[in-house]
Amino acid sequence: MNATTNRYTTPASVTAQIAGLPDLQMAEIRSLWKELFRSDTPIYNRQYLERRIAYRLQEIEFRKVDRNLMDRNARRIKTIIETGQNKKRDRDHRPVAGTMLTREYKGIIHRIVVTPDGHYDFQGRMYPSLSMIAREITGTRWSGPLFFGLKPSATKPTSKKGVRR
């Protein structure tokens, strides 16, 4: 029995399935696409296919509605209707359950998956915050949302674009 058959009879975690996508042969990628989307692959761009498959796997696994996300969206929609403008995002940078965050640090790629209970799965261990994971990776204190690119740096880069002389 090969790994592909075994994966379907004993489902691995979504994290493991997504992490294993780069190891699959292109024929296996196309087969998995057909199973998930009930159609042939629209193109043969491997990167595109892997990303869409990863998204679909997460979509299937984490179908549950995130109440916080729904509330935030309702507030934003109300603001847009009232003011006609899309104001700055809420300060809450928590990603939706099932989101996979990827960060390369010192040549090593680190993957973190957001769980439905609001925690973070990193290397099979659960963490309550991204900052704890960033510290684990770097050995120094970091803002987790900043380290993983969920919020911009406080310092703005200087740009000469738009400056008239």
pLDDT attached to residue 95: 78
Q: Which residues of the chain have pLDDT under 70?
A: 1-12, 63-67, 87-93, 154-165
Could you write out the three-class secondary structure of 57-94?
HHHHHCCCCCHHHHHHHHHHHHHHHHHCCCCCCCCCCC
Asked if residue 34 and residue 94 are part of one domain, the reply reads no
Domain count along the chain = 2
Cα separation values, 103 from 18, 110, 112, 147, 161, Å: 15, 5, 9, 8, 29
Asked if residue 31 and residue 53 are part of one domain, the reply reads yes
Q: By the 8 A CB rule, do 120 and 114 touch?
A: yes
Whether residue 39 lies inside any domain: the answer is yes
Q: Which amino acid is at 13?
A: S
What is the domain range of residue 127? 67-147
pLDDT attached to residue 6: 39
Of 28, 61, 94, the last residue of a domain is 61
